[in-house]
Structure 1
Amino acid sequence: MAVFKNLLCVFMLQMMVQALLLSHVNGQGLKVGFYEKSCPEAEKIVYKVISDVMAVAPSLSGPLLRMHFHDCFIKGCDGSVLLDSPTNQSEKFSIPNLTLRGYNIIDRVKTALEKACPGVVSCADIVAIVARDVTVATMGPHWYVETGRRDGRVSLISDPLNPVSGLPPFFLNITSLKASFALRGLNSKDLVVLSGGHTIGMSHCSSFTSRLYNFTGKGDTDPTMDPNYIAQLKKKCKPADPTTIAELDPGSFLTFDDSYYRLLTKRRGLLTSDAALLDDPETKAYLIQATGHDSTFFEDFGVSMIKMGRIGVLTGSEGEVRKVCSKIN
């Protein structure tokens, strides 16, 4: 009897944990128009700032979109990637985040919102709204952003590098990519759809030069990459080049479109994780469909972004609404 009670207790505990995780994945507490009464002009204020920024610095569109991804994949969408640390031990100082740009733009949006509605709009919500607005500014899709997130108080430099729950690195194969996304409640379709955000992205040469110069450690190139493309990239990227950057979607990196998928079908994906989308029947079928007349990419991108924006959110009395996005209250 005692054994049965112990098993029952363990079972109940597991059910409670699963229910808690499910509530975070489903983003309970979020809704469109969360600030309708408390700060009715919130999204207009964000849009105005981002419009001004995009008019003079359109290349920030990719980093600001990527910031939402980097935030949500670590501890959930809680603004933790924005936090500073007096000893440089927060997420933004972790190696995968060193190439993020646009923190000053988030601060600029926050300042404008604090002036209009002090202590109301969270930094986590700002990151989510900005991601949508830079997508629209680059001719991409519009979606209604669910808001109501609260800001987290913890940000650790080690979290993005965690081999299981950290940010999926650029060298992952398709099996590992799918596992990383599944851990966050995202499926194979979400993986290939959200990868489409690379249409407005840039990458440092150091993230892919091994594919050009030393793929298997024998001074060879990646046989899955178009050799003509390799020749072009070698003109831009030299071995061990830590500073030069290249367009993930050459010739179209300031326009949100389907050309990223078109390049993949021609074996011109820049990163290993891009090329890996050809190695799975489902993701490959989607990227081919995304380049056709029946493409649903724009609609799907908004759906997957909303889904990603629900990961691990803090709502209600959890967390806080930071007055300054780079530090806890």
Structure 2
Amino acid sequence: MTDLFPALPYADWRPTRDTLHRFLQVVGKVRLAASPRRNHWWNVPLHLTGRGLTTRPMSVDGVRSFCIDLDLLDHRLDLTTADGGRWSFPLTDRSVAAFHADLAAGLAALGLDVTIADPRPFDLPDRDRPFAEDTEHATYDPAAVTRYWRVLGQVNLLLEEFAGRYSGKTSPVHHFWHTFDLALTRFSDRVVEHGAATDPVTREAYSREVVSFGFWFGDPATPEPAFYSYTAPEPAGLADAPLYPGAARWQEQNGSHLAVLTYDAVRATADPRATVLEFYESAYRAGAIAAGWSVDGFSCRGGVTDPVLAAARRADHERVLRAEHDMAVASDWGSAR
């Protein structure tokens, strides 16, 4: 099972990670400029494909469609248009400045007039340096990027499965290029009032109560990959709730609390997939119960809302639990004899 979750020490691939992060920010800002806005910024993130990441189709004029795909197995960028146009270049041996220039050249060559509103990194240490001037970040280890992609794919499958257990409003599973994490969010649809001083990004992202789940690849503040969850706004007593498995913990961050389970702790277990799902479920119940959500009302076993099939599945589940209980009792009785 650990082959599904290969070792990914933050320090070992940090230079490549920092370069790739900025590549994704360049592509993501094109997506931001060329997509219609959706609630909670759902138009902004990147999505997974069978070979890497995609912007999904977008358009400058609402008519002519184009797409940017990052192939993280062959390590190429493909810019394509619905009418057959294509521009491609390798991801290796490029600084951020060169990547930015090559993508801009491709957009121009295909007649796509895209203007990035702020062509600089978002919320990174070099946020004041334009992409076009960043020759510092130029490390790209293909093996490390492919390993990142494989981890991303496994976590994506876990989050897709976890998403099916909730019948309320749920975000897609998507890769946020600004924070370099894969995330899924559940909503109660209870409106959250923000003060006028709250920035517009936060006001849109957290206009409703949420419990969010995801995976990040580490950063200077937390230099190790980890699974996480948070509830916003944070209800009283959240960090007093139990988390599972035992290696999970509440971590204070910017005045609130994250539920955290490190990637290496998951890799050390006999069943990493079951461990992550147990963690997400415990973090969800902690947040939802403390915030007063209808946990039973939103429950959706196996992604089923059909009441007939759902009742049959509940009955099957209860029969399994009774059988397991009877076996345990019989075993205890036999041991006592």
Higher relative contact order (CA 8 A, sep 6+): 1
Greater strand proportion: 2
TM-score over 0.5 (shorter chain):
no
TM-score by length of 2: 0.26
Structure (1 or 2) with the larger CA radius of gyration: 2
- Kindly indicate which of the two structures has a greater share of residues assigned to helix: 1
